[in-house]
Chain A
Amino acid sequence: MKNVIVACGSGVATSQTVASKVKRILDENNVRANVEAVDIKSLDSYIRSADVYVSITKSNKEYEIPTLNGIAFLTGMGLEEEKQKLIDALK
């Protein structure tokens, strides 16, 4: 199964909010994947086993896997576009 990770400052609140939302969107679209909220301080060790990274922060670092804009999931602005990218990346 593919893995989606969402990172925030502690891996507790914001990342879990987004992760729950991502999980619901995937369920609605019948896409099976693990979604995990992680601590941004340990991001480098999680990103190796991930297929999609949903980012809540702006970073200069480039990752090899598709990176989505997590803010869209929080504010609802630009959400449809990110949803599509998410589903495409996991198909």
Chain B
Amino acid sequence: MEVLQNAVQYVLDMGASVFVPIIMLVIGLIARMKFKDALSAAIIFGVAFSGMTLVVDYMLSAISPAAQTFAENTGINLTSVDGGWTTAAAITWSWPFAFLMFPILVIINITMLAFKWTKTLNVDVWNVWGKIFTAILVTYLSGSIVAGFIVASIQVIVELKIGDVWGREVEDLTGIPGVTVPHHMTLVASLLYPIDKLMDKVPFLNKKMDAEALRDKLGVFAENHIMGGIIGLLLGLAASYSIQESLILAIQAATALTLFPMVSKLFMQALSPISDAISDFMKKRFEDREILIGLDWPILAGRNEIWVTAIIIVPVLLLFAVTLPGNTVLPFGGIINLSIVVGAVLLTRGNLVRMIIYGIITAPVFLYISTYFSPYITRLAKETGAVNVEEGSMLTWSTIENGEFKLFFANAMNGEWWAILASIGWLAIFTYFVIGRQKDNDKYFAEDIEEANS
């Protein structure tokens, strides 16, 4: 037993960039990949880790000193630097138990389909990382890995249930039949649902707005290098850097934001054989059943409302970050708040005004939840050796997807009474949403057919 423990420790000590590729290689060989292909995928995974370490360290070394100077000058303490979801995903894959999530996901989905508890077959294997991320935060808060995987399993189930709901919205918004988006971040829609029902009663908020013209004007700001450059420049000026230093920071920030996705896609490249194998395996089992295929959110990315809303709430997030008492998050890598806009576009069926309202009212919640979880994200980065985080500063993700769920369930698993009640409340609202929304959809799409017939 002790020998085994030592061997495991020896492998873990080499850091994520070595042990995760080893796991990948073994999984690849078990899945009967050719040795050459399995080795290639394994090494690319290692490259992705090392690359991400480089870029995150680079970002922190540029942004942290500016954030600290800003804090000294103003007393506004924004020391948790936001690496965005790409950073969160990278350090999540470096958790030693990460790969346990794959079989759990497959078993839950197949069981639920077999018993007809869902009609969603989720083949979006990339976003397994989101469930692992939840498992990690819950494990850290409760001290129990089992609790982490229990909550992550609940997450898998509620995602499949929301996938059942979204099929019709997705077809309506994209024109693609037979697919859905069982993405964790869309769960924010269930908490917004009661508010949305109220908004139905306000005449002005029912108007459709054309987002395309706005998108053409604003679209350029959503490009990573431009967004990064602007934020870097603003931060430099806010930290009373000289013009020269501010411009240097602007380019450094633009570099970080441009390189994040470039490096991040290496993870997907490495995972692609596994993800293909898993999705083929699942698809084969349910070929003759009518199912909704669950895909990642970018099938909705053609909707201009998503980008217009995301850009409009960028200054809102920045403004809240410097004014909210107790907030420590400096929004940067996660400032394009996909975690609200994707859920909101589905919930509001592309109603731009409502989406912007939701983006604004949820901004403080995102920042506070990110502040709350930043010590745990920092701990993960340090423990796995994925990223160097200097004393006095922290790493976080400013727009954690469905953070309320993680906050409530993690604390509930820790035995906090308020959190147990909040978790039950969350499930109650979710159930109300799933049932209510299906009724709404029946009505909404029935009207559509009537209109088409008349």
Contacts and interface: CB of A to CB of B under 8 A. Distances in A.
B13 interface: no
Nearest to A57: B302
Contacts, number: 99
Interface size class of B (residues with CB under 8 A): 35 or more
B268 interface: yes
A75 to B, nearest CB: 5
Interface string A52-65: 00011111100000
A27 B158 CA distance: 39
B272 A8 contact: no
A71 B299 contact: yes
Contact of B301 (A17, A57, A74, A77): A57
Interface in A4-33: 7-17, 20-21
Interface stretch (B112-120, B174-182, B443-451): B174-182
A62 to B, nearest CB: 13
Given A41-B222, A71-B179, A75-B178, A15 B307 contact: no
Interface stretch (B290-298, B380-388, B408-416): B290-298
A57 B275 contact: no
B138 to A, nearest CB: 23
A59 to B, nearest CB: 5
Nearest to B222: A41
B176 A16 contact: no
A41 B269 contact: no
Interface in B266-286: 267-269, 272-273, 275-276, 283
B174 A13 contact: no
5 contacts: A10-B261, A13-B298, A16-B269, A20-B276, A56-B298
Closest 3 CB pairs of A and B: A57-B302, A8-B298, A16-B268
Given A39-B261, A59-B302, 9 more contacts: A8-B298, A9-B300, A12-B265, A13-B265, A16-B268, A20-B269, A21-B272, A39-B224, A74-B295
